Amino acid sequence: MNKALPKTLLFQAEPEPLARQILTKVPELPLVTVDSHDAVPDALDAQKPEIVFAFKIGKSEPFPREAILCCDSVKWIQASGAGVDHWTPWDTNKVTITNASGIHAEVMAQYTLWAILNHRLGFPRMARNQSKSLWDKKLLVSAAGATLAVIGFGRIGVEVGRLAKAVGLKVIGVRAHPKPSEHADEVVGTDRLHDALGKADFVLNVLPLTEETRGLFNAEVIATMKPGACLINTGRGHIVEENALVAAIESGRLGAAVLDVFATEPLPPESPLWTLENVVITPHTAGDMIDWEDDVTNLFCNNLERWIKGEALANIVDPARGY
């Protein structure tokens, strides 16, 4: 039976628990594991897998994109996240790449709602006062009635909209192919991006990184945002031009920013973003819920069953669109 099952390579920092999870579903799967990026090329040469289940490993070794995409035996790659910019470009005639879109939606939506309420209710100011033992009572400002523009109204964006509307925000979704949603007051095309930005008190960027979105939030686009607005970025760091953002915050053109992703990660100590009073920084953690790897592995197992049966895979990525 083993000969009928596809040889599979899993690489992750601690792969054994995930391997056990996979083998519980497909006990006779010929599965090989490695725990570093550096070990991937040798594993490809020795094993010639048909499938690669790939996690980014937070170490200094470069991601083994080229080695995998140049391996003739590899026909399907399952990415561990929604973003696949570290894979582009690839030849869809040679290999299929699927992502983990939807896995991170729940916690990323909660992160966004926290970012909105944290800013609107003034918690950063109160935290600064606490560090000074300063009692300075001010009236709170409700988030209800404020407007949120979600740039990239896909699975994550829709879940953000659901939570945002529950606390009374007006939601404008922006996506390439707009269609009505019960979780947005309106959904518009990217041709109306500037209009949406001009109306929004809060702007969430949750776009994938593509050639079209790289540097999208430059000085010109930031200038179209509503004065005093708060920018939340959980998409990709390269979508926001950081120098332009710093200038907009320092000038008061924007009121605040909550940033989870950056052009260079970890964010360099010398970055001015660290010391701006109205900027909250988190270490690329908005989608990393406890046990998220288990959820991605369940998604992979479901797709693996489809692959074995010759059925269409879920979450196939179009490299031209980035999702």
Known catalytic residues? 236, 265, 284
| Dist CA 120 CA 258 (whole Å) | 12
What DSSP string runs through 1-30?
Answer: -GGGSPPEEEE-SS-HHHHHHHHHHSTT--
Tokens of 314: 């879920």
Q: Residue 224 phi/psi, 5° resolution?
A: -85, -10
* Terminal CA-CA length for the chain: 35
> Hey, what long-range contacts does 30-34 have (CB within 8 A, 24 or more apart)?
30/2, 30/5, 30/6, 32/7, 32/8, 33/9, 34/9, 34/10
Cβ(116)–Cβ(308) below 8 Å: no
Distant-in-sequence, close-in-space partners of 205: CB < 8 Å, separation ≥ 6 = 151, 152, 216, 217, 231, 232, 233, 234, 235, 239, 240
Token output for 109: 């939506």
Q: Secondary structure of 205-236 in the HEC alphabet?
A: ECCCCCCCCCCCECHHHHCCCCCCCEEEECCC
d(C-alpha 28, C-alpha 103), whole Å: 26
Helix 155-166 / helix 105-120 crossing angle, nearest 10 deg:
40
